[in-house]
Structure 1
Amino acid sequence: MKEVAGLAGVGMKTVSRVVNGEGRVSRETRARVEAAIAATGYRRNEVARSMRGMRSGQSTVDIGLLLGDLTNPFFAGVASAVIAEARGRGYAAVLASADEDPLAERAAIDGLLGRQVAGLLIVPGGRDYGYLRPEIEIGTPVVFVDRPGGGLSADEVVLDNAEGARMAVRHLAAQGHRRIGAIVAPSRWATSERLRGFRQAMRAEVGTIDATLIRRLSTGSVAEAERSARELLAVPDPPTAIFTTTGFMTQGLLRALGPRRDVAVVGFDDFPLADMLPVPLSVVAGDPVVLGTAAAQTLFARIDGWGDPPTRRVIPPTLVPRGSGEIPPPTGARTTRRPGRP
């Protein structure tokens, strides 16, 4: 703690307030202390709180789960699966969220490690997790969920995002669509993989990609997706079908479409009541329960002594046709491949 205080230029009491989440610390000072914590690798030592149990021969029965955006129902499903798997093994899952903020994420991970958890499941929002290497070396297993964690060799359990996008495009092309647009959330590993799959399938199924039909968003909000969708639908030769890379993108598109029923839609990620819409939504869905269960099982295998090199487990998504993805292109729309294309 003394090293953190010196680096941040504050007293040890101020560091203590930041570490313990107490008030009376300005935003600027808190940021300096958190940066110093990140630079030194300090974390609050809560071993003393658990010494009674440790002295009696008990080992920790907690695992840590760090999630990203808690407003995303997909991650709620992941958390439920992890909690259920942990409970079945006599463990408790301690949840934390950083809302996709790398600095807050580092502090949250430090907090989980300070509780002496037996292992960590992380939905990564940062880019470099090399600072966790010493934890792995002393026997704390780490499993990345839904996205890889950069800078660290550790187990990963992810969806096959590229194949899910290819499934969506192949499905739309099978209905006769060739003018297929895409609304893409801000670049993260999963979204970039979905865009990669979209491009691959467009080349294979249509033979060309019209870049004007791909809208890449900066914030990923429903409101921004709605504005982008309205612009996309207003171009001179608009798409007859649209693929969206997240549930928020899909919701924005549906708001822009309103009562229209002449544009086919396939979204990546399911969401509650999508099957109850006037035109039920066709989606590519990864099962969060399967993902969370697989991640937890991998972590417990490590806790139990599994010593193989780190693995990547890829969970296949599923195409769920409900109606919106089966809308045919309007009469007169181009439904054949360009001459000379494979």
Structure 2
Amino acid sequence: MQTNNKVPVDVFKTLTDAIESYLALAWKVVIALGGLVLVAYCYFESIMPEGLSLGDAFFLASASFSFACIALIGVGCGAFAALWLLKLIVVVRNHRLAGRGLPPASRLHRFVDSGSMMLMSFFVALPFAYLLIFVRDQTPDGRMQATLMFFATVGAFASIIFLIVPAQAQRRDVRFTVSICAMAVFGALVATRPALLNLAMVNLGVRSAPGQMLLFSSAEHDELAAIADASGVKVSFCKLPGTAMWGTRAVRAVWYGVGNSSYVRLFDEANASRDVLVRVDRTAMEVLRGDKIDFKCISAPSPTGRASDARPS
């Protein structure tokens, strides 16, 4: 009796220890991935965060989680949109083999090989193709087409690797498959340069979204206006009535709310490919976020001596 009572206890303790070890490992992996995402974002934006605390570990975890969610959802949509085309390729190939008297070489995985799945895949591919062909980026750092191209490329490649199976069962080399997938993802990242990092940071509130109003103190506005004039970058500010604050939509916050300092990019309104990265005081800037909000600004003479143009929404 004692032995029978001890066995379940030992099994429960072993299971608990295993869960604890897996959770500890998962947390370390998430922190490591979050750190890599953070380093990559800072590298591409040429910024150096300051004053990061131990509490920012939650931010690192959120960064990796947000990045992974966006990537998985986007690649999943790209893979699903490519199903009908893969089915067509497999059918045509098997038909040509049958004409030579040979057996079918491959087929789609039975989980996705159905008429309803192919029909839904075709209807998902239509808006995907429309966005890729006809929609143009409205903001200089949006890179919507590049991001969609990355989703479509990686999704189609993942479908080919994992959803097209040989007609006769074959053993797959896991290491080789993982290596090929890693090289394909890296190649797609280099070729398309998607805005995945930007999207992840916008979701976390670290980066301002296109169209959001940024407010600056009078002193910070004077400095930004002087830097814009010296750089030959045209940036319009407008004075908020009854305050000492200046607002603009021509400036993007690329690092805000984390650490002791913030960074913004001043985009040239005449040529969006030209921009200037400026470090600003965190307490002298605020990002206004909201939906269907009409910010009313009036034109006022700039303290630097140049009139700032009003940009009403």
Same fold (TM over 0.5): no
TM-score range, shorter chain: under 0.3
Q: Please tell me whether Structure 1 or Structure 2 has the larger radius of gyration of its CA atoms.
A: 2
Compare the two structures and name the one with the higher helix fraction.
2
